[in-house]
Amino acid sequence: MQNYLLPDWFSHNIPSFSEIKSLLPNRNRVLEIGCLEGRSTCWILQNFLEADGTICCIDTFEGSPEHTDIELAGLFERWQNNVKSAICEKQTCNVQVNKSYQGLANLIKDNESFDFIYVDGSHTAPDVLADACMCWGLLRVGGIILFDDYQWQWPEPLGELEYPKPGINAFASVYRDELQVVISNYQVAFRKLT
């Protein structure tokens, strides 16, 4: 049984994941950037990843600027315990406690590749753009990358570049010949064509 102390910022995204599942016959290798307490990690393990599949996770487990008002002590231990209670015997979960830039560089160096990538780490446009470009090389042809919070606006007015959207739009614009939009609502997802 999983133990969550923070608000549920995941369940409203399940329809996007379910749609992607129906579009993606091979779901053996998944990469997740931004895990928090493990709500998304555990849902992927129990509902999306193949029974002998591998999920690689990257998170600093230090929270993000929008988490200043919440208690983050013990976050990594909570994520670990939640994953332990959700994972099947033949599934594998690898975690890097790291900034996504460094974690992705390690995966690139190791020639890893993935069928599905979920990007929900830092929400600033420069960070999301860097995550997107690095992830693109790790995504298999035919694979899908999903970005959370495409339409997110924090109540407090921030500069435009504090939000994911400009980073995702810049990525989609430059890589337009290699991708197909498969979901566009609060979240956005692209299939890799070549």
Task: Kindly state the smallest distance separating residue 118's Cβ from ligand SAM, in Å.
Answer: 7
- Residue 39 near ligand SAM by CB under 6 A: yes
CA-to-CA dists, residue 6 to 20, 75, 79, 155, angstroms: 26, 10, 12, 19
H/E stretch holding 125 reads helix 125-138
Task: Kindly state the smallest distance separating residue 50's Cβ from ligand SAM, in Å.
Answer: 20
What pairs with residue 192 in β-bridges?
179
# of chain residues touching ligand SAM (CB under 6 A): 20
Q: What is the largest CA-CA distance in the chain?
A: 46
Number of CB atoms found within 10 A of residue 120's CB: 24
Q: Out of 20, 127, 164, 189, which residue is the one contacting ligand SAM (CB under 6 A)?
A: 127
What are the DSSP E strand ranges found in 20-160? 29-33, 54-59, 92-97, 114-119, 139-147
Q: Out of 29, 86, 116, 120, which residue is the one contacting ligand SAM (CB under 6 A)?
A: 120
Rank residues 121 and 167 by Cβ distance to ligand SAM and give the closer one.
121
Binding mask 9-38 for ligand SAM (x = CB under 6 A): xx-----------------------xxx--
Residues that bind ligand SAM (CB under 6 A): 9-10, 34-36, 39-40, 58-64, 99-100, 120-122, 127
